[in-house]
Structure 1
Amino acid sequence: MGQINLARMKRCMRRADKGEDLTIGFIGGSITQGSLASNQENTYARRIYAWWEQTFPKAHFHYVNGGIGGTTSHFGAARAVSDLLMYQPDFVIVDFSVNDEADEFFQETYEGLLRKLLLWNSHPAVLLLNHVFYDTGKNAQDYHNALGEWYQVPHVSIRDTLYQRMKQGMYTREELTPDGLHPNDKGHKLVAEEITAFLEQVKAGMQEEENEAVFPEPMTPNAYESARMLTIRESAPILEGFRADAEEKAGHLDVFKNGWIGTRAGDRITFELEASCIAVQYRKTIQKPALRAKLVLDGEEEHPVLLDGNFDEDWGDCLYLEPVLHHGERKKHTVELTVLPGNEEQQTPFYLLSLIIA
């Protein structure tokens, strides 16, 4: 790990030691949400929250978990305020290293999320967490942790610790995870122990004053710091057959709500918006067959984008995010979706969740 700055984390711990109110937050994918733990108390996130409670008994803590399975930092940057930052967190763990691809696009979206967190007015201490695919050792940590070093934000890598001990024979893969990715109770416990070992190191020196790092210019083109999500709450597109979903959304994990539904061939929805980056988020479902739609950007009928509502995996429906414009011209764009012909009576409707723009 390169140079890191612990001023925020030490300040957070000193406040906890004095007995203040603090909010402990998490944002990430399915592991942060708690997938494959037998209950929430056994997840790594709840165990980290419990460490704060047990270590600083005079403080009053609040828990916010913004984990949503199958999502990337692209979506994370767009939903950071509504799912985490509006609760004014004081400490945040970020987990997208097995959901993001290891490439420059997701490095840029991750930077957008990281800058949103670091610049938020509650001034949270941030810790990056790198989960790993236990069968391959793959993750996006090299791209993510390069940003950590740029901003002097610390990280805890499961690839560099627990995964290496598994490879050395201390654990079998099956002891840690049934599917090669999501930890079981023991795996969650061992992940939490890596994080708490780091937090204990920080706590040992928490009374040593440290100046906060100078906030740097972006490392990437950084278009996604301004990412925001357009649902039925933020946008009023032209509906020609599509209808707005009238069902109330119950919390951030009630994901397939606040969108638009197309049920027949020819149903159309048209947005006009100003942006240089546009992505469309729709449901890919295991309830096959599902309807498909085509997307046309700025009237370019000769370059349609196919949006296929059928999901090839079997773990559940997916919040699929399809970029359709990346670093384009910042101007007014039109985005038009049309449901394609199919057997509408027997196929699952096409569900458009949101547009994510930057």
Structure 2
Amino acid sequence: MADYNKTNVDESGNGGPAAPKDPVEQRSGFFIMFESIIEATTRPDGKFSQEIYLEGQRLIDKAKFSGGVEDEEILGFLTSCSGFRRLVHSIGVSVKAHDQEVSSLFFAIENWGKTSKYETGTRLRIPCPADGSEMILTLEDYDWSPDDDVPGKFAVEFERAGALATVSIILYLHEGYQVPEFTIEPPVDFGSQAYREMVAKSLLNRGNNKRLKAAIDKAKRGERVTIAYIGGSITQGAGAKPIHTECYAYQSYSNFKHRFGKEGGDAIQLIKAGVGGTPSELGIVRYERDVLRDGTAAPDIVIVEFAVNDEGDETKGNCYESLVLKALAAENEPAVILLFSVFVNDWNLQERLAPVGRHYDLPMVSVKDAVVEQFRLTKAEGNIISKRQFFYDIYHPTNAGHTVMADCLGYLFAETERSAPDLEDIVTDKPPAIGNDFIDTYLLDRSSKVEGIATIDAGSFIDTDADLQMVEMDDHPYGSPQFPNNWMHTAESGSDSFKMTIRCKRLILVFKDSGSSDFGSADIWVDGQHAKIADPHENNWTHCNAVILCNEQVSKEHSVEIKMVSGHEDKRFTILGFSYVP
């Protein structure tokens, strides 16, 4: 075990140096976070915190991934609050604030309740030192609600947004339970030859280099070059702390600027447009707005990263290829790079999506190809970066993982610079590898001029939802709301349907997913036929859901009606927008 100073917390929640009642260093235990960097962000309740969600499979995944736990009996205890208390004697929390002026903060625990998920479970909020000493929270010292169902979340609360700290959280077990002893790994040697060889394996396809070399040459001449990134939460920067400067997108943009830019590279511009939890089906909806900035931006390089998000793409690659072709078709002939990230279980959709890159001979970079093979090795056998070092959680990279991703893109840039130029451009005027039905997709929301496109009667969907998914765009440390020009139904707005008539071939509805019980489901009718029920609790966190309402080869007039499901009239539902192909 790591050797930490101990701090005990009494029943009143007052922390202070003291000897724990039961010396936890003699107990077996496992980390669910170990020396992880966290960042305070603004929450809806006005607090500034880093939240660590535990529900579902998440706590088990953390026990496996961070703690190395494989015992199925022990993992089974983590699925309920009663099992958790049967297994866990105490929780050790160590927080080292990066700002020396931060002397204290709070550690919070929330269990979800059986009667009302977010209201009837136990909530504890406890002062915690910020100097790296370990606070011990002994479970038997507290009264726990009989309505506790499952562990909900931990949180570390700060006084301001943007505060950084390094945190470790360990679960000490009752006597009779044993887990393997934790081993601290040596730091990653980013300058080693072995690391460079690992990164080189990421080059899945050099591709036709005509467009990418043109962008590099522009940068060398001091001309304006814009690099754009579109993808999911990894492109947004999830796992990177701070998110706006440690994410792979900013790191690779910065590397490109310093490698090729003239006089400091001030002419190199960044567009970052990653949105967590969304596939290319939503990416094609957002492209004009978030990447082309409604015609005000013309990226020279576009990096597309949906390899771990597109499982939810209803078109199974059609929207992905359409997005790639939409980017390639711009008048300024940008280079398009396909980037394949990876999850902790070594999974991505590279086999489905890489044929698109090969079809058009595009540059492709596979983080999976770089890291997965060496993940299976011990340090003695040649492991360069472990999964624990690469992944912040089972989905997202740590700062080190984001650095690897940036370096993989950097290797492509370097290889392109020193390669002989391709004289002929890529050919896109040919049958698609998967499909190209969504190239000409346009966004329609409350701000759109619908005259000549659609007629809309908002009915009871007359309010505007301001509690939206927030995304750190470009190099911003703050979040920007996604789809602010929306239509929301509330309990007070009546029961009339939202009705729209539109002429199109294809139509996508984007609606808000939410963890709030205030939201209910809506029935969707298309051309008088019941198409689906839109459930805002499919994922139970605030983000954007895209679903196809019609997909036809011939444009014709379609009617759409959206009405709250019977019994849900007193709930909320938010139509974030639509996209259509004329």
Greater relative contact order: 1 or 2 (C-alpha under 8 angstroms, separation 6 or more)?
A: 1
Match of 2:545 in 1: 320
Q: Given the superposition, is the C-alpha separation of residues 92 and 320 from structure 1 closer, same or farther in structure 2, using an over 3 Å criterion?
A: same
Q: Which runs of 5+ in 2 are unaligned?
A: 1-203, 474-479
Match of 2:444 in 1: 230
Deviations 1:223-263 (A, max 9, x none): 10012221112245112211152869999741141110111
TM-score by length of 2: 0.57
Task: Return the match for 1:216 from 420, 429, 436.
Answer: 429
The answer as to 2:328 corresponding to 1:125 is no
Match of 1:48 in 2: 252
Amino acid of the residue matched to residue 322 of structure 1? Answer: V
Q: Distance in 1 between matches of 2:406 and 2:206?
A: 23
Q: Distance in 2 between matches of 1:175 and 1:353?
A: 37
Instruction: Please say if residues 102 and 140 of structure 1, whose CA atoms lie closer than 8 Å, have aligned partners that are also in contact.
Output: no
The answer as to 2:230 corresponding to 1:27 is yes
Deviation at 1:336, TM superposition (A): 0.3
Deviation at 1:102, TM superposition (A): 8.3
Amino acid of the residue matched to residue 30 of structure 1? Answer: S
Bigger shift: residues 84-93 or 160-169: 160-169
Task: Return the match for 1:254 from 439, 463, 481.
Answer: 481
Deviation at 1:140, TM superposition (A): 1.7
Q: Distance in 2 between matches of 1:150 and 1:162?
A: 25
Instruction: Please say if residues 314 and 548 of structure 2, whose CA atoms lie closer than 8 Å, have aligned partners that are also in contact.
Output: no
Q: Percent identity?
A: 26
Q: Distance in 2 between matches of 1:309 and 1:267?
A: 19
CA RMSD of aligned residues (A): 2.4
Q: Given the superposition, is the C-alpha separation of residues 11 and 329 from structure 1 closer, same or farther in structure 2, using an over 3 Å criterion?
A: closer
**Which SS does the other structure have where 1:277 is aligned?**
strand
TM-score by length of 1: 0.90
Runs of 4+ deviating beyond 3 Å? 246-253, 341-345
Q: Given the superposition, is the C-alpha separation of residues 328 and 90 from structure 1 closer, same or farther in structure 2, using an over 3 Å criterion?
A: closer
Match of 1:199 in 2: 413
Bigger shift: residues 5-14 or 243-252: 243-252
The answer as to 2:352 corresponding to 1:143 is yes
Q: Distance in 1 between matches of 2:560 and 2:308?
A: 30
Match of 2:511 in 1: 282
Q: Given the superposition, is the C-alpha separation of residues 44 and 232 from structure 1 closer, same or farther in structure 2, using an over 3 Å criterion?
A: same
Deviation at 1:164, TM superposition (A): 2.4
Q: Distance in 2 between matches of 1:217 and 1:78?
A: 23
Larger fraction in strand: 2
Amino acid of the residue matched to residue 211 of structure 1? Answer: E
Deviations 1:279-334 (A, max 9, x none): 2111110112521110011012xx34111122444xx3120112222236531010
Q: Distance in 2 between matches of 1:54 and 1:2?
A: 24
Q: Distance in 2 between matches of 1:339 and 1:328?
A: 30
**Which SS does the other structure have where 1:51 is aligned?**
helix
Q: Given the superposition, is the C-alpha separation of residues 191 and 337 from structure 1 closer, same or farther in structure 2, using an over 3 Å criterion?
A: same
When Rg is computed on C-alpha atoms for both structures, the one with the higher figure is 2
Q: Distance in 2 between matches of 1:3 and 1:76?
A: 24
Match of 2:477 in 1: none
Match of 1:267 in 2: 496
The answer as to 2:548 corresponding to 1:334 is no
Q: Distance in 1 between matches of 2:431 and 2:312?
A: 19
- The aligned runs of 1:8-27 (5 Å cut-off) are 8-27=211-230
Instruction: Please say if residues 26 and 32 of structure 1, whose CA atoms lie closer than 8 Å, have aligned partners that are also in contact.
Output: yes
Larger fraction in helix: 1
The answer as to 2:302 corresponding to 1:92 is yes
Match of 1:291 in 2: 520
